[in-house]
Structure 1
Amino acid sequence: MTISLIHVNPETGLSASITATGGVAVGGYVNHSWRGIGACATQGLFTNPWYADNAKRWLSQGLCCHDVVERLKEGDAEFAKRQCMVMDKHGHAAFINGEENIAHVGSLAFQDLAVAGNMLESDAVIEAFADSFMAQTMLNAEQVRAGDKPQYHENYEARLAEVLITALEAALEAGGDKRGTYSASLRIESYTQAPIDIRVDWSDDSLIEDMRKVLSRVQAPSFQEFLNGLPNQ
């Protein structure tokens, strides 16, 4: 199984993603976030790691998410083995849910937010993923579910890493991977600070706890001083 969430704020250009899987080193292959451009999660029965480079290039050229996904499929004779979601800078998402992926396969999209997974216990996993993210970040989550534009809590971007981990925790508690979940990765790119990239490449039995341990190191004053000294462009 792999489950992923991608988020783009069209007003600020922020892009964020988080993913988890039953295999090793998910962050090396799956989730990609590009400020001012969009986001991508490429996963599935056999992940195509080259989707991300192509998606970034085409999004940078101004293609919408739906056109990007169609181009990815056209260039991949085995797209039935892939699951992929692409979000453009406008917060719109499109999916590949290849028919050869292992059930249960699901995906959901709202304005600025998309989630997808395969080899799931049920749709409850991705629903919990989205619900938790929206509850933590949006003032009008129910309206967003009905198609409205999100209204965000003030300064939600400053606590986004913890929001993403908490949303992943909710997804895993709702069923997660049939095999267990052993690696996770999150990435945040914005115009206000250097990128945040947090990964746990393998955790036997405490994945969320281990992600939070790494986050606590990132939030420590010494690292924050270093991070704040880095250029953001």
Structure 2
Amino acid sequence: MQTKQPGSGRRRAGLVAGGVGLLLAGGGTIAWAASQQVGPPPAPPAATSTTKGETPSASPSTSGGGSGATASESSSSTASPTPSVAEALPAAKPVAVRLPSIDVKSPVHPLGLNAQGGLEVPSGDRYDDVAWYDGSPTPGEVGPAVLEGHVTGSSHNPSVFFELGDTRQGDRIEVDRADGSTATFEVTQVKEYPKADFPQVDVYGATQGPELRVITCGGTYDENARRHQDNIVVFAELVQD
């Protein structure tokens, strides 16, 4: 099995071997292969996060609809200019993704829902690869395409999205598609949500244009529950390459 290691990105740290955290997206399941967990993964800055215990209050500007569990608006003194949104692309399945700012490169494979109605997660030989939720649009189509990945790996080391919380507004995400094209997205928000307050509508709801959601676990590891307490969600919009 090919094991993904986090790149230097903005944060090169000496990491102690620990347990295995499985991605969860708004009420999914967690499985563990060890009794201890590596230290907490990087978290978004407070200005662009909804921290544990807060109730999200407003939705991203391009998300459709709203609910009692929506994302809080972000603000930052170093916010990037609004990206030049590109026209939607025809449907084409994603085959690879790159997040240069955190040195992530991974093949992408499709996954659906499990028997409990939650997102399936990468497993087996593809445990440390990124998955695309095949119930969402393909990256580049109108709507929120959803990519997911583990925060820690089956070999007890950081997995593909351990450093996702170090992504920042203005970073680029490149998704190679099966038709030979590349959909380039620009990060607009990076959020951290308590699992109990995961904003289903803001993450999965309709959008005005082509968008991307990248999801993994984050926050403090709860020894009793044997899981991370939060989720990291990166919001991005399709831009002209």
**What is the TM-score with the length of structure 1 in the denominator?**
0.25
Higher relative CO (Cα under 8 Å, sequence separation at least 6) belongs to 2
**What is the TM-score with the length of structure 2 in the denominator?**
0.25
